[in-house]
Structure 1
Amino acid sequence: MTEKNKSIRNFPNSGNVPKLRFSEFTEEWKVKKLGEIGEIVNGLTYSPDNIDDSGILVLRSSNVQNRIVTLKDNVFVKTEKFNPVKENDILICVRNGSKNLIGKNAIIKRENEGLAFGAFMTVFRSPYNKFVFQWFDTKQYKEIVNKNLGATINSINGSDLKKFKIPFPSVDEQKKISSLLSLVDDRIELSMKIISHLQTSIQSYRQKIFSRKIRFKDISSKDYPDWEIKKLGEIAMRLTNKNKDNNQNVLTISAQYGLISQLEFFNKSVSAKNVTGYYVLNKNDFAYNKSYSNGYPMGAIKKLIKYEKGVVSTLYICFKFHSHINSEFMKQYFDAGFQNNEIEKIAQEGARNHGLLNISISDFFNIEISLPSNNYEQTKIANFLSSIEEKIETEKKILAQYEIQKKFFLANLFI
């Protein structure tokens, strides 16, 4: 715990007080309704005819991500009458086709002042919003939201929102709590920005490297031949070893997480009860899943990294690269998505000829891949891109720790 937080201590579990508390506070908390401490401000109703790029930006549910206002997927509306948001307003999604989005919220920062917000959103405005905003992240708030959803439409009306009961300490204690939690929020936001920046960087480098727009300075065309085009079947071999030991680590392919255990990804196994006939994969082997995956319309190719061994359905195409090919280079190549267009082109051709959008095993291994003819350049590229991935993973672990810390504080600093 930091120097700033040393005054936090456990509090006797009696009376209307939280489990964890700053030592200078001893009085019991009160309970207030949101309508007693603040007001509800309604959003702008507009039609598609009012949308105009020269109008005012209207904040909608999609502009609230991870409890932060993000100005992406923006809509502008031509209007003269609207309720502008103010600094420290809490923007809340109160109506949406998705039940899970009801109640999500963000606090308005100074740079967003003056913007409009849509009718499916509501603003809660009060002098206590920095504290209220933190309570809006608690399990208690989320449970109240779920209890108040409309019977026929996913919504919370303003009168119900005003009746939400919030545990309410003194203003000084509110400031202490909100200050601490805001500090954790800032660190979470910083980690997310770092991760986003690194993810953008690695994809940019992949595109430039594999399209040969950039090359390492110590690798010249004089000393190293240009890249060559090889068919996948020339540099890799298909794997068809069957599971004889009844290995139960059944893997699935995720565009985001790669080859991952079904138990981890789905929280259950969705495979057949008997998987003794499944294909066996060892660490660093690859698998291709023909089914759609986000960002990979004709399926994803992923390398087994997380486990020493696993099994996949025989619907997958499994393979490994020959020893002179750097498998990490190929992982980065596939993650860049350079094979996607060719796979889709082959599948579309098959659909025209046979009426089925699919790719055969022989066609799959005929995919053309551009790569350096020497292992040195392959390894250099692989190490460079892998180092960025390692930074991303390190930052994700830091983010996870801050999120755990935030959950702990939310569970213990509030009643």
Structure 2
Amino acid sequence: MLPKEWKKQAVEDYADLLTGNAFRSEDYVEARESAIRLLRGDNIIQGSLRWDDAKHWATPYADALQRYEMQAGDIVLAMDRPIVNAGLKCSVVRQQDLPSLLVQRVARLRAKKNFDQGYLAQVLQTHRFIEHLRGQKTQTAVPHISPNDIREFEFPCPINPAEQRRIAQILSSWDQAIATAERLLANSQRCTRDLMASMLSGHRRFAEFSDKWRFVDLNTVFERVTRKNSAQNTNVLTISGEHGLISQRDYFNKSIASANLGGYTLLHRYDFAYNKSYSSGYPMGAIKPLMAYDAGVVSSLYLCFKLREDVDADFDFFRHYFEAGLLNQEIEGIAQEGARNHGLLNVSVTDFFKLKLHIPTAPEQRRISEVINVARSEEARLQAQVQALRQEKSALMSQLLTGRRRVKLPDTETEVQA
């Protein structure tokens, strides 16, 4: 039930939608003062634009391209792979994103007269809109949406533009708080990466340690884990870059393993597993320890190992060592480019356990891991803060963008009604 001052209509009733121009990649030019950036789907991330890998077009350009010039406040939405990690590749163009030209397979939305652009931008962040797009069927391997999929989405809104504007202002203040928290998190992550790179390589050391770091074979510190799943454990694990070794049921909401788990390898807490498939952020595959569960099973394609009981070594040091990619160069040396098959690196057990580790004494390992653990804890705190802000904003959106909770509109616009 909507308040009487509200109505429900489709996006096409409130906004004009334009898709970009089909610029030819062979006509791209190097970045220079006389070139203009091209706004592609790859430049759009959840809530902002990223120009790290921007393509450019020479200027001046034909008058026919002027309709594709971006303006501050434009809403842009990637039409290929629009949903990533449950978030939508949708953003509002800022002044610093200009000048730029809209590229094919990106939709630009501009609110029509007497409708607030900020309110429209908030509607396109809602869970309902994301689920609407997720429900669209595609006939190709690349998930995509059409302009009509966007135009036909219906949503409620107040008739009064002042109420639209006030709601957008309130939600925008939450966006600003989230953006600030995300910048703090990104800075913390960058500092932690730099800290790990310098300390885990021995380039930065503590004054109290002077012993020379040693090169040792991996099998002098670790031993292979080959235990079969005789316990009939059904907690099938997969490796996630963000979450580490995680249950398939928790990650995919289902198990995608075979029915017979007898041939799987049984891992105990603090065992490591190496996934030989390379993926984003892990060009030589990922090595992750089991920390979230007491036990679980992994495919026999994984190489599994644990710290030797007769060796004095720090678990956290090696957890961070592997995560920092300090074995990548060694692995690359034993996994020839021509041996790759569908993303799977050809790494033999013998070669893997002969990889060289460059490590300090156990006391220095423990000191290094203590410092890195503090930095990672701060990262986790900031990550939780970002997540909490997003959840709080989402709850507020479900109230304000449906009319369940109204804003006061006296002569001076003030607070949200309790």
Mapped partners of 1:145, 1:319: distance in 2:
43
Mapped partners of 2:201, 2:256: distance in 1:
38
Q: In the alignment, which of 343, 347, 366 is matched to residue 379 of structure 1? A: 366
* Amino acid in the other structure paired with 2:390: E
Q: Sequence identity of aligned pairs in percent?
A: 30
Q: Which shifted more, 27-36 or 55-64?
A: 27-36
Q: In the alignment, which of 380, 394, 412 is matched to residue 393 of structure 1? A: 380
User: Offset of 1:229 from its aligned partner?
Assistant: 0.8
Q: In the alignment, which of 304, 321, 336 is matched to residue 348 of structure 1? A: 336
- The answer to whether 1:184 aligns with 2:164 is no
Q: In the alignment, which of 10, 18, 24 is matched to residue 47 of structure 1? A: 24
* Amino acid in the other structure paired with 1:67: G
Deviation string 1:297-332 (CA, Å, 9 cap, x unpaired) is 443221112122222233333222234100110111
Instruction: Please say if residues 244 and 276 of structure 1, whose CA atoms lie closer than 8 Å, have aligned partners that are also in contact.
Output: yes
1:47–1:316 distance in 2 versus 1, CA, 3 Å: closer
Mapped partners of 1:349, 1:109: distance in 2:
42
Partner of 1:122: 107
Structure 2 counterpart SS, 1:125: strand
* Amino acid in the other structure paired with 1:30: K
* Equivalence map 1:13-412=2 (5 Å): 15-17=1-3, 27-32=4-9, 34=11, 36-40=13-17, 43-52=20-29, 53-54=31-32, 55-79=35-59, 80=61, 81=63, 82-83=66-67, 84-93=69-78, 95-96=79-80, 98=81, 100=83, 104-126=89-111, 128-142=116-130, 145=133, 154-157=144-147, 165-169=154-158, 170-216=160-206, 218-220=207-209, 224-322=210-308, 323-348=311-336, 358-372=346-360, 374-412=361-399
Instruction: Please say if residues 350 and 357 of structure 1, whose CA atoms lie closer than 8 Å, have aligned partners that are also in contact.
Output: no
Structure 2 counterpart SS, 1:219: coil
Mapped partners of 1:198, 1:145: distance in 2:
34
Q: Which shifted more, 147-156 or 99-108?
A: 147-156
* Amino acid in the other structure paired with 2:250: E
Uncovered stretches (5+) of structure 1, i.e. residues with no partner = 1-14, 18-26
TM-score normalised by length of structure 2: 0.80
Uncovered stretches (5+) of structure 2, i.e. residues with no partner = 403-418
User: Offset of 1:227 from its aligned partner?
Assistant: 0.2
Instruction: Please say if residues 350 and 358 of structure 1, whose CA atoms lie closer than 8 Å, have aligned partners that are also in contact.
Output: no
Mapped partners of 2:52, 2:89: distance in 1:
17
Mapped partners of 1:208, 1:344: distance in 2:
21
User: Offset of 1:119 from its aligned partner?
Assistant: 3.5
* Amino acid in the other structure paired with 1:219: E
Mapped partners of 1:294, 1:231: distance in 2:
27
Instruction: Please say if residues 236 and 319 of structure 1, whose CA atoms lie closer than 8 Å, have aligned partners that are also in contact.
Output: yes
* Amino acid in the other structure paired with 2:157: F
Mapped partners of 1:376, 1:146: distance in 2:
51
Mapped partners of 2:388, 2:153: distance in 1:
31
Mapped partners of 1:318, 1:150: distance in 2:
39
CA-atom RMSD in angstroms: 3.2
Deviation string 1:60-93 (CA, Å, 9 cap, x unpaired) is 1112101212222211111334243222221233
| Aligned residues between the structures | 381
Mapped partners of 1:328, 1:145: distance in 2:
42
Q: Which shifted more, 247-256 or 27-36?
A: 27-36
Mapped partners of 2:221, 2:139: distance in 1:
59
Mapped partners of 2:304, 2:241: distance in 1:
16
* Amino acid in the other structure paired with 1:61: G
User: Offset of 1:35 from its aligned partner?
Assistant: 5.0
Mapped partners of 1:240, 1:147: distance in 2:
43
* Amino acid in the other structure paired with 2:36: I
Mapped partners of 1:277, 1:46: distance in 2:
52
Deviation string 1:338-378 (CA, Å, 9 cap, x unpaired) is 212212322339959xxx96233222211110100x22211
Deviation string 1:198-226 (CA, Å, 9 cap, x unpaired) is 2222222222223332223x235xxx211
TM-score normalised by length of structure 1: 0.80
User: Offset of 1:387 from its aligned partner?
Assistant: 1.6
